[in-house]
Amino acid sequence: MNRIRVLLADDHTLVRKGLRSLLDAEAGLEVVGEAEDGREAVHKAQALAPDVVLMDITMPGLNGLEATRQIRKALPRVKVLALTVHANAEYVFQILRAGASGYLVKQAAVTELIEAIRTVSRGETYLSAALSPAAVEAYRRQAEAMAAPPRLTDREREVLQLIAEGRTNREIAGRLAVSVKTVEAHRAHVMEKLGLRTTAELTKYALRQGIITSD
């Protein structure tokens, strides 16, 4: 039987090491790599082509939502399973909309984690037993009834997250290896598309969309 190759993406080293220990001990699973943020997760997914990426949602620099979008866009065959502390329907909708195949809370038992990985690797959807199916379905119907939000580019979403995290234009330019003028242009485009005028409004938008959290 072919092993299911798993990439771990979480900004907490102890969480990654604990997950690796659990999964490597399970027959039929193999951890092929680890990533400490969303950007590294995208790069390693492209390099390693795992079957499943176990993805934390809340990570600095590039969050799990955006990393999931980029991985699914570049590697449609790779499945993403969100593993997060957030047990609410809004996060479920956001990550599934980004392209994830499943959603699991970190309080889940090891047996459920293994089941979830196997389920999404088969091309099926998995939702954590800790979630209320009725609440998830209600939020999904509500969200689908709303007008689609303005479409931002990959780079604009990255800039939006960094702005919402409190980074200056110069810091963002250094992180993304672009000029300050380029960052200013991206900021202006984001504000224009979203109809927002201040950094505070951008931050509130990022919180509502699950791009950052208030934790």
Residue 214 tokens read as 């208030």
Alpha helices in the chain (DSSP H): 13-24, 38-48, 64-74, 89-98, 110-121, 133-145, 154-164, 169-176, 180-194, 199-208
User: Domain residue spans in the chain?
Assistant: 4-144, 154-208
pTM greater than 0.75 (yes/no) = no
Residues 154-208, CATH architecture: Orthogonal Bundle (1.10)
For the chain, 215 residues long, the average pLDDT of each consecutive 10-residue run is: 91 94 93 95 96 93 91 94 81 83 89 94 87 63 57 89 93 94 93 87 85 74
- At 49 the pLDDT is 95
80 within 8 A of 100, measured Cβ to Cβ = yes
The DSSP bridge partners found for residue 34 are: 8
Radius of gyration of the chain (CA): 17
Residues 4-144, CATH architecture: 3-Layer(aba) Sandwich (3.40)
- Whole-angstrom distance, CA of residue 48 vs CA of residue 144: 34
211 within 8 A of 65, measured Cβ to Cβ = yes
Kindly report the number of other CB atoms within 10 A of residue 121's CB atom.
22
The number of angstroms, rounded, from the C-alpha of 67 to the middle of its chain's C-alpha atoms is 5
SS3 84: strand
- At 116 the pLDDT is 95
Identical topology for domains 4-144 and 154-208 = no
- At 100 the pLDDT is 92
Kindly report the number of other CB atoms within 10 A of residue 8's CB atom.
26
The DSSP bridge partners found for residue 83 are: 104
